[in-house]
Structure 1
Amino acid sequence: MRPTVAVVDDASLIRESVGLLMTDLDVVAAVATVEELVRRRPEADLVVLDLHLANLEQQPDVRQGIAAIRTLTTSGYRVCVYSQEERRFVLAACIAAGACGVVSKALPTARAQQLFLEAAAGGTVVPQAVVGILEVLVRRDCITLLSERQRQLLHGRARGLSYAQVAKQLYVSESTLRGYWLDLTRSLSESLRNLTPGEIERALGLAPGDLLEFWSGEATDGKDWWRTAEPR
Protein backbone atom coordinates (compact mmCIF):
# COMPACT_ATOMS: atom_id res chain seq x y z
CA MET A 1 0.00 0.00 0.00
CA ARG A 2 1.31 3.44 -0.92
CA PRO A 3 1.90 5.87 1.98
CA THR A 4 -0.60 8.73 2.17
CA VAL A 5 0.80 12.24 1.84
CA ALA A 6 -0.62 15.74 2.20
CA VAL A 7 1.14 18.58 0.38
CA VAL A 8 1.19 22.16 1.70
CA ASP A 9 2.67 24.56 -0.85
CA ASP A 10 1.43 27.89 -2.17
CA ALA A 11 2.78 27.10 -5.64
CA SER A 12 0.00 25.38 -7.55
CA LEU A 13 2.56 23.71 -9.84
CA ILE A 14 4.11 21.89 -6.88
CA ARG A 15 0.73 20.94 -5.39
CA GLU A 16 -0.50 19.50 -8.67
CA SER A 17 2.71 17.78 -9.73
CA VAL A 18 3.71 15.81 -6.63
CA GLY A 19 1.00 13.21 -7.11
CA LEU A 20 1.62 13.00 -10.85
CA LEU A 21 5.41 12.70 -10.71
CA MET A 22 5.87 10.78 -7.45
CA THR A 23 3.67 7.83 -8.22
CA ASP A 24 4.73 5.81 -5.17
CA LEU A 25 2.94 8.37 -2.99
CA ASP A 26 -0.82 8.62 -2.51
CA VAL A 27 -1.56 12.35 -2.27
CA VAL A 28 -4.74 12.72 -0.23
CA ALA A 29 -4.69 16.52 0.03
CA ALA A 30 -2.86 19.36 -1.70
CA VAL A 31 -3.49 22.79 -0.19
CA ALA A 32 -1.93 26.24 -0.11
CA THR A 33 -1.87 26.85 3.65
CA VAL A 34 -1.39 25.02 6.91
CA GLU A 35 -4.67 26.48 8.13
CA GLU A 36 -6.58 24.83 5.32
CA LEU A 37 -4.97 21.46 6.00
CA VAL A 38 -5.76 21.62 9.70
CA ARG A 39 -9.34 22.61 8.90
CA ARG A 40 -9.74 19.60 6.57
CA ARG A 41 -7.91 17.18 8.91
CA PRO A 42 -7.11 14.51 6.30
CA GLU A 43 -5.46 11.31 7.50
CA ALA A 44 -1.92 11.21 6.15
CA ASP A 45 1.29 9.36 6.91
CA LEU A 46 3.30 12.48 6.07
CA VAL A 47 2.83 16.18 5.39
CA VAL A 48 5.19 17.62 2.78
CA LEU A 49 5.57 21.28 3.76
CA ASP A 50 7.13 24.22 1.96
CA LEU A 51 8.72 26.71 4.38
CA HIS A 52 8.10 29.84 2.34
CA LEU A 53 4.32 29.76 2.13
CA ALA A 54 3.06 33.30 2.42
CA ASN A 55 2.79 35.86 -0.26
CA LEU A 56 3.11 38.65 2.30
CA GLU A 57 0.79 40.97 0.37
CA GLN A 58 -1.98 38.45 -0.25
CA GLN A 59 -1.62 36.12 2.76
CA PRO A 60 0.10 38.10 5.54
CA ASP A 61 -1.28 36.03 8.42
CA VAL A 62 -0.75 32.40 7.36
CA ARG A 63 1.55 30.21 9.43
CA GLN A 64 4.87 29.28 7.92
CA GLY A 65 8.36 28.27 8.97
CA ILE A 66 8.70 27.17 12.58
CA ALA A 67 5.10 28.09 13.40
CA ALA A 68 3.81 25.91 10.57
CA ILE A 69 5.90 22.93 11.67
CA ARG A 70 4.71 23.30 15.24
CA THR A 71 1.06 23.60 14.23
CA LEU A 72 1.21 20.44 12.14
CA THR A 73 3.17 18.35 14.65
CA THR A 74 0.83 19.46 17.44
CA SER A 75 -2.04 18.28 15.25
CA GLY A 76 -0.45 14.83 15.12
CA TYR A 77 1.20 14.94 11.68
CA ARG A 78 4.69 13.84 10.68
CA VAL A 79 6.21 16.75 8.77
CA CYS A 80 8.91 16.71 6.12
CA VAL A 81 10.03 20.12 4.91
CA TYR A 82 10.34 20.49 1.11
CA SER A 83 12.18 23.71 0.32
CA GLN A 84 14.82 25.57 -1.64
CA GLU A 85 16.23 26.87 1.66
CA GLU A 86 19.93 26.03 2.03
CA ARG A 87 21.10 27.86 5.15
CA ARG A 88 22.24 25.23 7.61
CA PHE A 89 20.93 26.88 10.76
CA VAL A 90 17.49 27.30 9.23
CA LEU A 91 17.46 23.62 8.26
CA ALA A 92 18.63 22.58 11.72
CA ALA A 93 15.92 24.77 13.28
CA CYS A 94 13.31 22.83 11.28
CA ILE A 95 14.52 19.58 12.83
CA ALA A 96 14.64 21.20 16.26
CA ALA A 97 11.04 22.34 15.80
CA GLY A 98 9.87 18.76 15.23
CA ALA A 99 10.17 18.09 11.48
CA CYS A 100 11.16 14.50 10.75
CA GLY A 101 13.17 15.59 7.74
CA VAL A 102 14.19 18.21 5.22
CA VAL A 103 14.25 17.54 1.47
CA SER A 104 15.66 19.99 -1.08
CA LYS A 105 13.54 20.98 -4.06
CA ALA A 106 16.75 20.89 -6.08
CA LEU A 107 16.92 17.07 -5.82
CA PRO A 108 15.83 14.87 -8.73
CA THR A 109 12.20 13.78 -8.44
CA ALA A 110 13.06 10.12 -7.88
CA ARG A 111 15.45 10.95 -5.03
CA ALA A 112 12.98 13.32 -3.38
CA GLN A 113 10.28 10.64 -3.58
CA GLN A 114 12.63 8.08 -1.99
CA LEU A 115 13.30 10.43 0.93
CA PHE A 116 9.58 11.13 1.41
CA LEU A 117 8.97 7.38 1.51
CA GLU A 118 11.62 7.01 4.19
CA ALA A 119 10.08 9.83 6.24
CA ALA A 120 6.55 8.44 5.85
CA ALA A 121 7.77 5.04 7.06
CA GLY A 122 9.08 6.55 10.29
CA GLY A 123 12.58 7.52 9.23
CA THR A 124 14.43 10.77 9.76
CA VAL A 125 15.82 12.61 6.75
CA VAL A 126 18.68 14.89 7.81
CA PRO A 127 20.39 16.98 5.11
CA GLN A 128 24.18 16.96 4.89
CA ALA A 129 24.51 20.52 6.24
CA VAL A 130 22.65 19.55 9.42
CA VAL A 131 24.68 16.34 9.79
CA GLY A 132 27.73 18.59 10.01
CA ILE A 133 26.17 20.63 12.82
CA LEU A 134 25.20 17.48 14.71
CA GLU A 135 28.71 16.07 14.39
CA VAL A 136 30.18 19.23 15.93
CA LEU A 137 27.66 19.09 18.80
CA VAL A 138 28.59 15.46 19.48
CA ARG A 139 32.32 16.11 19.22
CA ARG A 140 32.05 18.96 21.73
CA ASP A 141 29.98 16.84 24.14
CA CYS A 142 26.80 18.85 23.74
CA ILE A 143 25.16 15.55 22.75
CA THR A 144 26.65 12.67 24.73
CA LEU A 145 24.38 9.65 24.25
CA LEU A 146 26.26 8.05 21.33
CA SER A 147 28.42 4.95 21.38
CA GLU A 148 31.89 4.98 19.87
CA ARG A 149 30.64 3.13 16.78
CA GLN A 150 27.85 5.69 16.31
CA ARG A 151 30.34 8.53 16.64
CA GLN A 152 32.52 6.93 13.96
CA LEU A 153 29.54 6.61 11.66
CA LEU A 154 28.49 10.22 12.21
CA HIS A 155 32.06 11.39 11.66
CA GLY A 156 32.25 9.64 8.31
CA ARG A 157 28.85 10.80 7.07
CA ALA A 158 29.56 14.39 8.16
CA ARG A 159 32.59 14.33 5.87
CA GLY A 160 30.54 13.24 2.90
CA LEU A 161 31.61 9.59 2.81
CA SER A 162 29.18 7.19 1.18
CA TYR A 163 27.57 4.30 3.04
CA ALA A 164 29.88 1.93 1.17
CA GLN A 165 32.99 3.86 2.20
CA VAL A 166 31.99 4.06 5.87
CA ALA A 167 30.92 0.39 5.89
CA LYS A 168 34.38 -0.60 4.62
CA GLN A 169 36.06 1.45 7.34
CA LEU A 170 33.91 -0.04 10.11
CA TYR A 171 33.93 -3.63 8.74
CA VAL A 172 30.13 -3.93 8.55
CA SER A 173 27.76 -4.50 5.66
CA GLU A 174 26.21 -1.52 3.93
CA SER A 175 22.69 -2.70 4.83
CA THR A 176 23.67 -2.96 8.51
CA LEU A 177 25.14 0.54 8.35
CA ARG A 178 21.93 1.97 6.90
CA GLY A 179 20.04 0.50 9.85
CA TYR A 180 22.52 2.10 12.25
CA TRP A 181 22.11 5.43 10.46
CA LEU A 182 18.32 5.32 10.72
CA ASP A 183 18.50 4.84 14.49
CA LEU A 184 21.29 7.38 14.83
CA THR A 185 19.55 10.20 12.98
CA ARG A 186 16.32 9.61 14.92
CA SER A 187 18.21 9.78 18.21
CA LEU A 188 20.18 12.88 17.23
CA SER A 189 17.06 14.69 16.05
CA GLU A 190 15.37 14.05 19.38
CA SER A 191 18.44 15.31 21.21
CA LEU A 192 18.58 18.44 19.05
CA ARG A 193 15.00 19.30 20.02
CA ASN A 194 15.98 19.26 23.69
CA LEU A 195 18.91 21.68 23.38
CA THR A 196 18.61 25.39 24.08
CA PRO A 197 19.98 28.07 21.73
CA GLY A 198 22.52 29.00 24.41
CA GLU A 199 23.90 25.46 24.61
CA ILE A 200 24.24 25.27 20.84
CA GLU A 201 25.81 28.73 20.57
CA ARG A 202 28.48 27.78 23.12
CA ALA A 203 29.22 24.49 21.37
CA LEU A 204 29.49 26.07 17.92
CA GLY A 205 31.40 29.14 19.09
CA LEU A 206 28.65 31.61 18.18
CA ALA A 207 27.92 34.89 19.90
CA PRO A 208 25.08 34.91 22.47
CA GLY A 209 21.76 35.52 20.73
CA ASP A 210 22.90 34.49 17.25
CA LEU A 211 20.43 31.61 17.08
CA LEU A 212 17.38 33.25 18.62
CA GLU A 213 15.85 34.07 15.24
CA PHE A 214 16.20 30.45 14.16
CA TRP A 215 15.66 28.10 17.04
CA SER A 216 12.28 26.62 17.80
CA GLY A 217 12.20 27.74 21.41
CA GLU A 218 12.35 31.39 20.40
CA ALA A 219 10.49 31.73 17.07
CA THR A 220 6.79 32.29 17.75
CA ASP A 221 4.79 33.67 14.87
CA GLY A 222 7.01 32.23 12.15
CA LYS A 223 6.23 34.99 9.66
CA ASP A 224 9.75 36.03 8.70
CA TRP A 225 12.11 34.04 10.93
CA TRP A 226 14.27 32.83 8.03
CA ARG A 227 15.00 36.33 6.68
CA THR A 228 17.72 37.06 9.25
CA ALA A 229 21.24 36.52 7.94
CA GLU A 230 22.89 33.26 8.97
CA PRO A 231 25.21 33.57 12.01
CA ARG A 232 28.82 34.25 11.10
Structure 2
Amino acid sequence: MRPAVAVVDDSPLIRESVGLLMPGLEVAAAVSTVEELVRRRPAADLVILDLHLANLEQQPDVRQGIAAIRAATGCGYRVCVYSQEERRFVLAACLAAGAGGIVSKALPTRRAEELFVEVAAGGTVMPQAVVGILEVLVRRDCITLLSERQRQLLRGRARGLSYAQVAKQLFVSESTLRGYWLELTRSLSDSLRDLTPAEIEHALGLAPGDLLELWPAEPTAPKDWWRTG
Protein backbone atom coordinates (compact mmCIF):
# COMPACT_ATOMS: atom_id res chain seq x y z
CA MET A 1 0.00 0.00 0.00
CA ARG A 2 1.27 3.47 -0.88
CA PRO A 3 1.94 5.74 2.10
CA ALA A 4 -0.37 8.74 2.35
CA VAL A 5 1.49 12.04 2.52
CA ALA A 6 0.61 15.65 3.21
CA VAL A 7 2.77 18.15 1.31
CA VAL A 8 3.43 21.51 2.97
CA ASP A 9 5.20 23.84 0.54
CA ASP A 10 4.50 27.38 -0.61
CA SER A 11 5.50 26.50 -4.18
CA PRO A 12 2.45 25.47 -6.26
CA LEU A 13 4.81 23.54 -8.53
CA ILE A 14 5.96 21.31 -5.67
CA ARG A 15 2.45 20.84 -4.27
CA GLU A 16 1.03 19.88 -7.65
CA SER A 17 3.91 17.74 -8.88
CA VAL A 18 4.55 15.35 -5.97
CA GLY A 19 1.54 13.18 -6.77
CA LEU A 20 2.35 13.19 -10.49
CA LEU A 21 6.08 12.55 -10.30
CA MET A 22 6.12 10.22 -7.28
CA PRO A 23 3.57 7.47 -8.01
CA GLY A 24 4.66 5.53 -4.93
CA LEU A 25 3.04 8.19 -2.74
CA GLU A 26 -0.64 8.98 -2.25
CA VAL A 27 -1.11 12.70 -1.68
CA ALA A 28 -3.76 13.16 1.01
CA ALA A 29 -3.34 16.95 1.15
CA ALA A 30 -1.18 19.65 -0.42
CA VAL A 31 -1.15 22.97 1.45
CA SER A 32 0.99 26.10 1.55
CA THR A 33 1.32 26.52 5.33
CA VAL A 34 1.59 24.38 8.42
CA GLU A 35 -1.33 26.36 9.86
CA GLU A 36 -3.57 24.99 7.13
CA LEU A 37 -2.25 21.49 7.78
CA VAL A 38 -3.05 21.79 11.49
CA ARG A 39 -6.51 23.17 10.73
CA ARG A 40 -7.41 20.44 8.24
CA ARG A 41 -5.67 17.53 10.03
CA PRO A 42 -5.61 15.17 7.00
CA ALA A 43 -4.91 11.49 7.67
CA ALA A 44 -1.31 10.99 6.52
CA ASP A 45 1.60 8.67 7.20
CA LEU A 46 4.07 11.47 6.53
CA VAL A 47 4.22 15.24 6.24
CA ILE A 48 6.66 16.44 3.57
CA LEU A 49 7.64 19.88 4.84
CA ASP A 50 9.65 22.69 3.29
CA LEU A 51 11.62 24.78 5.80
CA HIS A 52 11.15 28.15 4.12
CA LEU A 53 7.41 28.41 3.63
CA ALA A 54 6.53 32.02 3.03
CA ASN A 55 7.64 35.58 2.52
CA LEU A 56 7.86 36.82 6.11
CA GLU A 57 6.93 40.37 5.07
CA GLN A 58 3.67 39.19 3.51
CA GLN A 59 2.83 36.47 6.04
CA PRO A 60 4.74 37.27 9.25
CA ASP A 61 2.71 34.87 11.40
CA VAL A 62 3.33 31.74 9.32
CA ARG A 63 5.35 29.15 11.24
CA GLN A 64 8.50 27.96 9.52
CA GLY A 65 11.61 25.96 10.35
CA ILE A 66 11.73 24.52 13.86
CA ALA A 67 8.33 26.01 14.75
CA ALA A 68 6.71 24.31 11.73
CA ILE A 69 8.34 20.95 12.51
CA ARG A 70 7.12 21.09 16.09
CA ALA A 71 3.61 22.13 15.04
CA ALA A 72 3.35 19.10 12.74
CA THR A 73 4.91 16.60 15.14
CA GLY A 74 2.74 18.01 17.91
CA CYS A 75 -0.28 16.84 15.91
CA GLY A 76 1.16 13.34 15.78
CA TYR A 77 2.60 13.47 12.27
CA ARG A 78 5.91 12.01 11.14
CA VAL A 79 7.78 14.78 9.36
CA CYS A 80 10.35 14.69 6.59
CA VAL A 81 11.97 17.99 5.73
CA TYR A 82 12.22 18.62 1.97
CA SER A 83 14.51 21.57 1.37
CA GLN A 84 17.44 23.14 -0.44
CA GLU A 85 19.02 23.96 2.91
CA GLU A 86 22.58 22.61 3.13
CA ARG A 87 24.04 23.99 6.36
CA ARG A 88 24.86 21.00 8.53
CA PHE A 89 23.87 22.48 11.90
CA VAL A 90 20.54 23.66 10.50
CA LEU A 91 19.86 20.14 9.22
CA ALA A 92 20.93 18.60 12.52
CA ALA A 93 18.63 21.03 14.33
CA CYS A 94 15.70 19.77 12.25
CA LEU A 95 16.32 16.23 13.48
CA ALA A 96 16.74 17.48 17.03
CA ALA A 97 13.35 19.21 16.70
CA GLY A 98 11.66 15.93 15.83
CA ALA A 99 11.92 15.49 12.05
CA GLY A 100 12.24 11.85 11.04
CA GLY A 101 14.31 12.64 7.98
CA ILE A 102 15.75 15.27 5.66
CA VAL A 103 15.61 15.01 1.88
CA SER A 104 17.33 17.46 -0.45
CA LYS A 105 15.35 19.02 -3.27
CA ALA A 106 18.47 18.55 -5.38
CA LEU A 107 18.03 14.75 -5.40
CA PRO A 108 16.54 12.95 -8.41
CA THR A 109 12.78 12.53 -8.08
CA ARG A 110 12.92 8.74 -7.88
CA ARG A 111 15.49 8.81 -5.06
CA ALA A 112 13.52 11.43 -3.12
CA GLU A 113 10.42 9.25 -3.41
CA GLU A 114 12.31 6.23 -2.05
CA LEU A 115 13.48 8.24 0.95
CA PHE A 116 9.99 9.58 1.68
CA VAL A 117 8.66 6.02 1.68
CA GLU A 118 11.45 5.01 4.05
CA VAL A 119 10.64 7.77 6.54
CA ALA A 120 6.89 7.09 6.27
CA ALA A 121 7.61 3.47 7.24
CA GLY A 122 9.43 4.56 10.39
CA GLY A 123 12.96 4.97 9.08
CA THR A 124 15.31 7.88 9.69
CA VAL A 125 17.02 9.61 6.77
CA MET A 126 20.12 11.65 7.62
CA PRO A 127 22.17 13.75 5.18
CA GLN A 128 25.85 12.90 5.00
CA ALA A 129 26.75 16.21 6.67
CA VAL A 130 24.68 15.32 9.75
CA VAL A 131 26.14 11.80 9.88
CA GLY A 132 29.55 13.46 10.07
CA ILE A 133 28.49 15.62 13.02
CA LEU A 134 27.09 12.62 14.86
CA GLU A 135 30.22 10.56 14.27
CA VAL A 136 32.31 13.28 15.91
CA LEU A 137 29.88 13.50 18.85
CA VAL A 138 30.14 9.73 19.32
CA ARG A 139 33.92 9.74 18.99
CA ARG A 140 34.16 12.44 21.65
CA ASP A 141 31.79 10.58 23.97
CA CYS A 142 29.00 13.13 23.80
CA ILE A 143 26.79 10.24 22.64
CA THR A 144 27.79 7.05 24.46
CA LEU A 145 25.06 4.40 24.14
CA LEU A 146 26.53 2.64 21.11
CA SER A 147 28.16 -0.75 20.72
CA GLU A 148 31.56 -1.10 19.09
CA ARG A 149 29.90 -2.56 15.97
CA GLN A 150 27.60 0.46 15.74
CA ARG A 151 30.55 2.80 16.12
CA GLN A 152 32.35 1.00 13.30
CA LEU A 153 29.29 1.28 11.09
CA LEU A 154 28.86 4.98 11.84
CA ARG A 155 32.55 5.61 11.22
CA GLY A 156 32.35 3.97 7.80
CA ARG A 157 29.19 5.80 6.74
CA ALA A 158 30.58 9.14 7.97
CA ARG A 159 33.54 8.61 5.64
CA GLY A 160 31.24 8.11 2.68
CA LEU A 161 31.64 4.35 2.34
CA SER A 162 28.78 2.47 0.69
CA TYR A 163 26.76 -0.22 2.45
CA ALA A 164 28.62 -2.82 0.40
CA GLN A 165 32.03 -1.47 1.42
CA VAL A 166 31.17 -1.31 5.12
CA ALA A 167 29.54 -4.75 5.01
CA LYS A 168 32.76 -6.19 3.59
CA GLN A 169 34.81 -4.57 6.36
CA LEU A 170 32.51 -5.87 9.10
CA PHE A 171 32.00 -9.34 7.54
CA VAL A 172 28.20 -9.09 7.44
CA SER A 173 25.70 -9.13 4.60
CA GLU A 174 24.56 -5.84 3.11
CA SER A 175 20.95 -6.54 4.10
CA THR A 176 22.01 -7.16 7.71
CA LEU A 177 24.00 -3.94 7.67
CA ARG A 178 20.98 -1.96 6.46
CA GLY A 179 19.05 -3.30 9.44
CA TYR A 180 21.85 -2.20 11.76
CA TRP A 181 21.83 1.25 10.16
CA LEU A 182 18.07 1.64 10.65
CA GLU A 183 18.42 0.92 14.38
CA LEU A 184 21.51 3.12 14.64
CA THR A 185 19.97 6.17 12.99
CA ARG A 186 16.92 5.92 15.24
CA SER A 187 19.15 5.77 18.31
CA LEU A 188 21.30 8.68 17.14
CA SER A 189 18.26 10.79 16.30
CA ASP A 190 16.85 10.24 19.79
CA SER A 191 20.21 11.07 21.37
CA LEU A 192 20.53 14.24 19.32
CA ARG A 193 17.22 15.50 20.72
CA ASP A 194 18.54 15.15 24.26
CA LEU A 195 21.70 17.22 23.73
CA THR A 196 21.97 20.87 24.68
CA PRO A 197 23.69 23.51 22.55
CA ALA A 198 26.41 23.81 25.20
CA GLU A 199 27.16 20.07 25.07
CA ILE A 200 27.45 20.11 21.29
CA GLU A 201 29.55 23.29 21.27
CA HIS A 202 31.97 21.77 23.79
CA ALA A 203 32.25 18.46 21.90
CA LEU A 204 32.80 20.10 18.52
CA GLY A 205 35.06 22.89 19.71
CA LEU A 206 32.61 25.68 18.89
CA ALA A 207 32.54 28.96 20.76
CA PRO A 208 29.97 29.20 23.56
CA GLY A 209 26.71 30.54 22.16
CA ASP A 210 27.42 29.61 18.53
CA LEU A 211 24.37 27.31 18.41
CA LEU A 212 21.95 29.27 20.55
CA GLU A 213 20.20 30.86 17.55
CA LEU A 214 20.10 27.57 15.65
CA TRP A 215 19.39 24.82 18.13
CA PRO A 216 15.79 24.01 19.17
CA ALA A 217 16.29 24.57 22.88
CA GLU A 218 12.76 25.89 23.41
CA PRO A 219 9.42 25.04 21.75
CA THR A 220 8.95 28.73 21.04
CA ALA A 221 12.02 29.03 18.82
CA PRO A 222 11.82 32.13 16.59
CA LYS A 223 10.33 31.63 13.14
CA ASP A 224 13.46 33.00 11.42
CA TRP A 225 15.93 30.82 13.36
CA TRP A 226 17.67 29.59 10.21
CA ARG A 227 18.81 33.06 9.20
CA THR A 228 21.65 33.04 11.73
CA GLY A 229 25.09 31.96 10.58
Same fold, TM exceeding 0.5? yes
Give the structure 1 partner of residue 185 of structure 2: 185
Q: Secondary structure of 1:115's partner? A: helix
User: How far apart, in 2, do the equivalents of 1:158 and 1:3 lie?
Assistant: 29
Superposition pairs for residues 86-101 of structure 1, below 5 Å? 86-101=86-101
Give the structure 2 partner of residue 130 of structure 1: 130
Do the aligned partners of 2:10 and 2:54 also contact (CA within 8 Å) in 1? yes
User: How far apart, in 2, do the equivalents of 1:178 and 1:213 lie?
Assistant: 35
Q: Is 1:114 paired with 2:141?
A: no
Q: Is 1:67 paired with 2:73?
A: no
User: How far apart, in 1, do the equivalents of 2:70 and 2:209 lie?
Assistant: 22
- Structure 2 gaps of 5+ residues are none
User: How far apart, in 1, do the equivalents of 2:4 and 2:130 lie?
Assistant: 27
User: How far apart, in 2, do the equivalents of 1:21 and 1:67 lie?
Assistant: 29
Give the structure 1 partner of residue 76 of structure 2: 76
Do the aligned partners of 1:197 and 1:211 also contact (CA within 8 Å) in 2? yes
Q: How many Å apart are 1:96 and its aligned residue?
A: 0.3
User: How far apart, in 2, do the equivalents of 1:92 and 1:160 lie?
Assistant: 18
Count, aligned residues: 229
Q: Secondary structure of 2:27's partner? A: strand
Q: Is 1:142 paired with 2:142?
A: yes
Q: Secondary structure of 2:39's partner? A: helix
Could you report, residue by residue, the CA deviation over 1:103-125 in whole angstroms, capped at 9, with x for unpaired residues? Answer: 00000000000000000000000
Give the structure 2 partner of residue 208 of structure 1: 208
Give the structure 2 partner of residue 58 of structure 1: 58
Give the structure 1 partner of residue 46 of structure 2: 46
- Structure 1 gaps of 5+ residues are none
Do the aligned partners of 1:63 and 1:221 also contact (CA within 8 Å) in 2? no
User: How far apart, in 2, do the equivalents of 1:40 and 1:166 lie?
Assistant: 44
User: How far apart, in 1, do the equivalents of 2:221 and 2:122 lie?
Assistant: 28
Runs of 4+ in 1 over 6 A off after TM superposition: none
Q: Secondary structure of 1:131's partner? A: helix
Q: How many Å apart are 1:142 and its aligned residue?
A: 0.3
Q: How many Å apart are 1:220 and its aligned residue?
A: 2.6
Task: Report the AA paired with residue 168 of structure 1.
Answer: K
Q: How many Å apart are 1:222 and its aligned residue?
A: 3.5
Could you report, residue by residue, the CA deviation over 1:178-221 in whole angstroms, capped at 9, with x for unpaired residues? Answer: 00000000000000000110000000000110001111114734
- Identity within the alignment, %: 84
Do the aligned partners of 1:8 and 1:30 also contact (CA within 8 Å) in 2? yes
Q: Secondary structure of 2:134's partner? A: helix
Do the aligned partners of 1:213 and 1:219 also contact (CA within 8 Å) in 2? no
User: How far apart, in 2, do the equivalents of 1:40 and 1:26 lie?
Assistant: 17
RMSD: 0.8
Q: TM-score, normalised by structure 1?
A: 0.97
User: How far apart, in 2, do the equivalents of 1:107 and 1:213 lie?
Assistant: 28
Task: Report the AA paired with residue 102 of structure 1.
Answer: I
